[in-house]
A and B are shown apart, each in its own frame.
Chain A
Amino acid sequence: MKAQLLSNFTPSLMPPEALESIFVQRERFAHRLIHLIRDSVASSAKQQTLLIGPRGIGKTHLVALIYHRVRASSDLEPLLRVAWLREEEWGVGSFLELLLRIFRALNAEYKDAIDIATIDALYTMSPRAAEETAIQLIKTHLAGRTLLLLIENLDDLFLGLGDKGQKHFRSFLQENPILTMLATSQRLFAGVSRQVSPFYGFFRINHLKGLEFTEVIELLTKVAQLRGDKQLEGFITSPSGRARVRAVHHLAGGNHRVYLIFSQFLNRESLDELIQPFMKMLDELTPYYQARMAWLSIQQRRIVEFLCDQRGAVPVKLIAQRGFMTHQTASGQLRELREMGYVNASPVGRGSYYELAEPLMRLCIEVKKNRGEPIRLFIDFLRLWYSPTELEKRLTLLKPDWELERQYLLSALRDVQENPRDPRVSACMKDLKTAVKSKRLPKAVSIAQEVVAIRSDGYSYTLLGMLLGASGRGEEALDAFDKAIKLEPSNRSAWFARGVVLSERGRRSEALHDLDVSLESPSPFRVLALGMKSRLLRLEGRHNEAIDSAETVLKAEPRNATALVEKGLSLMALDRHEEATPLLDAALKVDPNNAQILLNQALLFVTSGNVNKALEALERAIKIEPIAAALHVKAAILFLLGRNREAITVVEEVLLLSPEDSDVLTLQGAMLRIDKDYAGALDSYERALRITPQSAEASFGRAAVICVLDWPRGVIALDAAIMNQHDAFEEIAESAKDILVDMKGAKTSWPEKIRCLSEIFERQNRLPVLATAIVRAIPAHVHEPDFGQWLSVWKEISNGREDLSLAIRLLEASFRYIGEEDERALLELPVEERELLRKVLEEDKDRRAESSISVESKD
């Protein structure tokens, strides 16, 4: 390990490389400060910056870093002089004395910058004359350069200067724009914050924030690297290392210095390695916290002491009561304490709960209060450091004569029994809640992994699984749930959550099993589980069971929207549309802005033929949430209504939302084919097939389009498709019908083509399907002048092919009915054939659309 000077209390003593190497969080800010100094050097505008933050927050580190960076800038050297008034500049009682300190700092920085004899002469003058001469001296020395004055503990300096000194200082600054300041203070103080103070509003004030957890990890990693401590570096990134760092974070409240102190024994495992550094740390920190207490008013000290005695946050009422104060006084004092960084407030309802911002302060004050009995605090610390299992393990390993350690461990274990909440888990859960609230799931997963590292129980694994599931890491989630269930087979939450993830992954029967197990005994998820079960059963086609499950929910919660919808959808699937309608209406009353329910309502309207109402419902749904399924159905309805151009536009919107939806691509293919954009249609079908190679609709759609573009290739594609999808009656029939329709107007080539088609269908034993296609193509051909020839060629082909005889009869009847306007042609047909033909002739458009819209519910 490298020996490196890493000063916990005096960063100004550290070499610049060390300062740079462990600098975190404030790079952008440091850059900005340098920028402001440059700006002050370049013009007569002078920037004055004051950094505010409690001890240990990194003020001196930042100032030292800026100092080194400025001194290392060769371009600034001829234009700037730097005077750094150190932390311990006590005893400055007037502006003149401040000037003398500046001279001293300049002389220390630039050998003999100001003649010592001249400075000595100032002591022989009257204060007023000496001040005037000193001002001239500094101006002469600067000779047009700018002075960068670095001042630490400006509050102390101002206290010494007093009102008079501050006014002299400010007058000097106002009349002589030659000086830029970077100052620090542990708190806002009257000298800058009171409106009547000379320096009110003079500084650009920056409150330095504590470290966030990720920044802590970065800092500790850098510290480990600086020390060459590979073990520590590796430990920090492991889940148990991160959990321990989080425990420190809980204690340190973001204070840089505390992390530096802790970093020295973060990866120590044995008790004896831990106790000594821990106590030493408290010893080092105690004067600091005592000093912080000394700054407070009596009332504020009383509040802080009371909060030290508490182990959690407490309401103002209790603080006021215990401090013998009015509520108003306590609120006022707490507000000041909060502004000074002593306490944190968490709003609860209309009030607030307060706790110490730095739990270490509690520990340090407790040490002093219970002199010689540091058991309580060390027990807390042990509980933060070790899991209950680790505590037990360590107890068994103790040598018989290690009585003190045994006492600590036993007390810690007793505390675990009395108060089983693990403070480390509490710290994790606090951060986890924040991460989930701010939708930072990767961070939440990482914290949950730490919880698992601390406490490998069913609850922790379930929590991790849920977060992994929500992050889309389904397989890892299932793995976590498996572990949770193995550890705690009766953990209903784990069963339920695994059921959810399984259902999301399409493993419905397994999901149903898990949900059933979760329902074996009461759990908070019961209603959710039943709702989900109803949905899965519906998707499995077990509609009656789905209805039963939904009804169980509705008995307990008659206005449960999910159950109302699920029951409605199952009823729809059972063609009980009239029963389904009021259920969906009721669901919408409960949840009027649920786009999914509106979508299903639209489908119900489609089923009952009320297309306009369906479109209205879809518009509402899309307005609430532009879900792809709603747009898909809208496109299909527009297609059905013959509004093909609009439909194409909507389909493009759907594909923006879900570009990999093969059903939508297939629908787009059909639309583009109708629009005679055959190349576009072919592209859509082929994209659909790349996603779902088994799609019959896309295969036959593709074949029909190729038939237009390149007949020989098209026939081969059709032949192959029939072979692969032999049972797809509807898709084959539609494709063949499209091919027949596309022959319209092809003056000479069609007789050959339909002969070729019939050969394929005969060879594939699918002539009945071809017959359906011939009938469906009647409306396209019946008004054509060559319909007579169309009929005679088909009659010729059908010779000896019984499967085509019905189609030929209907062709002949159509010819007579439409071409010769002979009403008898229809009447001579058997009634069922007559109705079939009438339907074909009148409802071709509707039938085509029906084939496009699935009336299955949309999920």
Chain B
Amino acid sequence: MKANPGGLLAPDQVVGRDDLIKDLWRILDRQSVVLTAERRMGKTSIIRKMQAELPSKKIAYFRDLERVHRPVEFAEIVFCDVEHALTTLQRGAARARRFLSRLSGAELSGFKFPDVADAHWKVLLTETVADLADAQMVDLAVVFFWDELPWALQNIAATSGERTAMEILDTLRSLRQMHPNLRMVFTGSVGLHHVISELRAKGYGNTPVNDMYPFDVPPLSLDGAMDLATRLLKGEAIKSDNLPQTARLVADSCNNVPFYIQHVVDQLKIRGVPGTSRNIHAIIDGALSDPQDIWDLRHFRQRVDTYYGKNASGVLNLLDIIAAGESALSIGEITNRANSSEELIEEELIRTLLELLECDHYLVRTTNGMLHFRLPLIKQWWRLNRGLLL
């Protein structure tokens, strides 16, 4: 297996996620899922693998929705996939087609909706899914994997207004409730909670995903990370005196994050050096301080401004405090340290910001309520980047 940091992986190259996928299918047997994870954790690879290796009695469609800018485009995509699903049963999306004929006065050829359909996207979406229900596919669940849904919602909010984006979320929730065999998996690079927060700021009061299971994708297990590292080291013919030991070192040093593991092996290959501890650490140290930011770490700093707006400076302060700590800190300790600086932050706001930082995968909470950086590598980078190293 060749290193492929950031590129598209073949399903059989998605290593160490079998148990997680089994869990996801188990959850999908009963409800839909919001799949969240830090970027680089391999969400898209996981859902692509799920789609490629379907269990029995499941039909699944993978769509990257970032290209969707108008709600009708979204309805069109769903229509296209439902038609495909029904074709296998020698049927079509009759209700939707009928509705379209009424609208345009002509029968739809192909999958492209006429321009007149733009204003009727909600009916089209509802009718399309109703077609699925009409097919009475007992024991056969249809799963829509919708990657980059938050982006699509942002696009739609920008082109058709926030209200339309809110309607989409509400429509999807209502469809899930009406059709028990329908499953949706939402994922995206931008946290859905941020989009919903933005909509809330514009008056949105619903909880559109509270029927969905929030599933967070963690880094690989150590075994999984070692398996990935071993395959890559072998595949790239990296010299090593002790392959299991080298694989463990790569996995450990990369906090079991597949993207970083791919990068380290890729760099070993490019540099033509053996997988020694010295070489591996040199690559990681170089990546953490690389002015070109080859590991895309700078976004951990940059997105604070985008995500947290007027609270950005407070969030930076909180992250600095936690990064500077040698071990995990309690909320009380964080509050004390935060308020020892010139800018006072209310304790309640600190709690809210810390929760958001957990949602955004910066922090994790231990069982006794202490907070620390989720990945030691990110903590190290944060210290370097923010000049917190003495």
Residue interface mask B177-206, A partner, CB < 8 A = 1 = 000000000000110000000000000000
Residues of B within 8 A of A175 (CB): 62-64
Q: Known: A164-B69, A194-B302, A205-B292. Is A45-B270 also a contact (CB below 8 A)?
A: no
Seed contacts A198-B66, A201-B296; 18 additional CB < 8 Å A-B pairs: A36-B2, A44-B8, A45-B9, A52-B292, A129-B110, A164-B67, A164-B69, A171-B67, A174-B8, A174-B44, A194-B302, A196-B189, A196-B303, A201-B40, A203-B6, A204-B4, A206-B270, A338-B291
Residues of B within 8 A of A194 (CB): 299, 302
Chain B residue nearest to A38 (CB atoms) is B2
A195 B303 Cβ-Cβ under 8 A? yes
Docked complex: A26-53 residues within 8 A CB-CB of B: 28-29, 32, 35-36, 39, 43-48, 52
Docked complex: A184-199 residues within 8 A CB-CB of B: 188, 193-196, 198
Residues of B within 8 A of A29 (CB): 270
B6 A202 Cβ-Cβ under 8 A? yes
Residue from the set A164, A195, A207, A338 with the largest chain B CB neighbour count within 10 Å: A195
Complex Cα gap A200–B189 (Å)? 10
Complex Cα gap A198–B259 (Å)? 17
Residues of A within 8 A of B242 (CB): none
Interface flag for A557 (CB, 8 Å): no
Interface flag for A231 (CB, 8 Å): no
Docked complex: A163-221 residues within 8 A CB-CB of B: 164, 167-168, 170-175, 177, 188, 193-196, 198, 200-207
Interface flag for A128 (CB, 8 Å): yes
A168 B112 Cβ-Cβ under 8 A? no
Residues of A within 8 A of B39 (CB): 195, 200-201
Residues of B within 8 A of A195 (CB): 39, 189, 296, 299, 302-303, 306
Residue interface mask B195-225, A partner, CB < 8 A = 1 = 0000000000000000000000000000000
Interface flag for B176 (CB, 8 Å): no
Chain B residue nearest to A128 (CB atoms) is B112
A174 B147 Cβ-Cβ under 8 A? yes
Docked complex: B334-379 residues within 8 A CB-CB of A: none
Q: Known: A28-B272, A35-B2. Is A200-B66 also a contact (CB below 8 A)?
A: no
Separation in Å of the B149 CB from the closest CB of chain A?
A: 12
Interface flag for A126 (CB, 8 Å): yes
Complex Cα gap A45–B67 (Å)? 22
Separation in Å of the B258 CB from the closest CB of chain A?
A: 12
Interface flag for A677 (CB, 8 Å): no
List the 6 shortest-distance A-B pairs measured between CB atoms, nearest first.
Answer: A195-B299, A174-B64, A171-B67, A171-B64, A44-B10, A167-B66
Chain B residue nearest to A36 (CB atoms) is B2
Docked complex: B1-58 residues within 8 A CB-CB of A: 2, 4-11, 13, 39-40, 44
Residues of A within 8 A of B115 (CB): 126
Separation in Å of the B157 CB from the closest CB of chain A?
A: 14
Residues of B within 8 A of A32 (CB): 269-270
Interface flag for B230 (CB, 8 Å): no
Q: Known: A167-B151, A201-B40. Is A48-B6 also a contact (CB below 8 A)?
A: yes
Total of A-B residue pairs, C-beta within 8 Å? 115
Interface flag for B131 (CB, 8 Å): no
Complex Cα gap A473–B130 (Å)? 89
Interface flag for B65 (CB, 8 Å): yes
Separation in Å of the A438 CB from the closest CB of chain B?
A: 15
B6 A201 Cβ-Cβ under 8 A? yes
Residues of A within 8 A of B69 (CB): 164, 167
B291 A339 Cβ-Cβ under 8 A? yes
Interface flag for B155 (CB, 8 Å): yes
Separation in Å of the A148 CB from the closest CB of chain B?
A: 14
Residues of B within 8 A of A164 (CB): 67, 69, 155
Residues of B within 8 A of A168 (CB): 67
Separation in Å of the B267 CB from the closest CB of chain A?
A: 10
A45 B64 Cβ-Cβ under 8 A? no
Interface flag for A132 (CB, 8 Å): yes
Complex Cα gap A193–B155 (Å)? 20
Instruction: Name the one of A44, A196, A205, A335 contacting B294, with C-beta atoms under 8 angstroms.
Output: A205
Docked complex: B300-318 residues within 8 A CB-CB of A: 302-303, 306
Residues of A within 8 A of B62 (CB): 174-175
A196 B112 Cβ-Cβ under 8 A? no
Chain B residue nearest to A207 (CB atoms) is B292
Chain B residue nearest to A166 (CB atoms) is B66
Separation in Å of the A184 CB from the closest CB of chain B?
A: 15
B67 A167 Cβ-Cβ under 8 A? yes
Complex Cα gap A686–B40 (Å)? 68
Complex Cα gap A391–B291 (Å)? 43
Complex Cα gap A128–B299 (Å)? 33
Residues of B within 8 A of A206 (CB): 270
Residues of A within 8 A of B259 (CB): 201
B13 A43 Cβ-Cβ under 8 A? yes
B7 A45 Cβ-Cβ under 8 A? yes
B292 A132 Cβ-Cβ under 8 A? no
Instruction: Name the one of B10, B111, B147, B155 contacting A43, with C-beta atoms under 8 angstroms.
Output: B10
Chain A residue nearest to B76 (CB atoms) is A128
Complex Cα gap A188–B293 (Å)? 10
Separation in Å of the B387 CB from the closest CB of chain A?
A: 11
B291 A47 Cβ-Cβ under 8 A? no
Residue interface mask B91-115, A partner, CB < 8 A = 1 = 0000000000000000000111001
Q: Known: A195-B302, A201-B296. Is A28-B111 also a contact (CB below 8 A)?
A: no
Complex Cα gap A28–B4 (Å)? 17
Residues of B within 8 A of A205 (CB): 292, 294
Chain B residue nearest to A45 (CB atoms) is B10
Instruction: Name the one of A46, A196, A200 contacting B306, with C-beta atoms under 8 angstroms.
Output: A196
Chain B residue nearest to A164 (CB atoms) is B69
Chain B residue nearest to A35 (CB atoms) is B2
Q: Known: A36-B2, A195-B299, A339-B291. Is A171-B7 also a contact (CB below 8 A)?
A: no
Interface flag for B266 (CB, 8 Å): yes
A188 B292 Cβ-Cβ under 8 A? yes
Q: Known: A35-B2, A36-B2, A167-B66. Is A200-B296 also a contact (CB below 8 A)?
A: yes
Complex Cα gap A177–B296 (Å)? 23
Residues of B within 8 A of A170 (CB): 64, 66-67
Separation in Å of the B319 CB from the closest CB of chain A?
A: 16
Residue interface mask A126-138, B partner, CB < 8 A = 1 = 1011001000000
A44 B112 Cβ-Cβ under 8 A? no
B7 A204 Cβ-Cβ under 8 A? yes
A171 B294 Cβ-Cβ under 8 A? no
Separation in Å of the A79 CB from the closest CB of chain B?
A: 15
Complex Cα gap A199–B306 (Å)? 18
A167 B10 Cβ-Cβ under 8 A? no
Chain A residue nearest to B69 (CB atoms) is A164
B112 A126 Cβ-Cβ under 8 A? yes
Q: Known: A129-B112, A200-B189. Is A173-B269 also a contact (CB below 8 A)?
A: no
Residue interface mask B259-275, A partner, CB < 8 A = 1 = 10000001001101000
B112 A46 Cβ-Cβ under 8 A? no
Separation in Å of the A136 CB from the closest CB of chain B?
A: 10
Residues of A within 8 A of B63 (CB): 171, 175
Complex Cα gap A174–B45 (Å)? 10
Chain A residue nearest to B72 (CB atoms) is A128
Separation in Å of the A332 CB from the closest CB of chain B?
A: 13
Chain B residue nearest to A339 (CB atoms) is B291
Complex Cα gap A790–B190 (Å)? 104
Separation in Å of the B292 CB from the closest CB of chain A?
A: 5
Residues of B within 8 A of A193 (CB): 293, 296
Q: Known: A167-B67, A338-B291. Is A204-B5 also a contact (CB below 8 A)?
A: yes
Residues of A within 8 A of B66 (CB): 167, 170-171, 198
Docked complex: A678-704 residues within 8 A CB-CB of B: none
Residues of A within 8 A of B303 (CB): 195-196
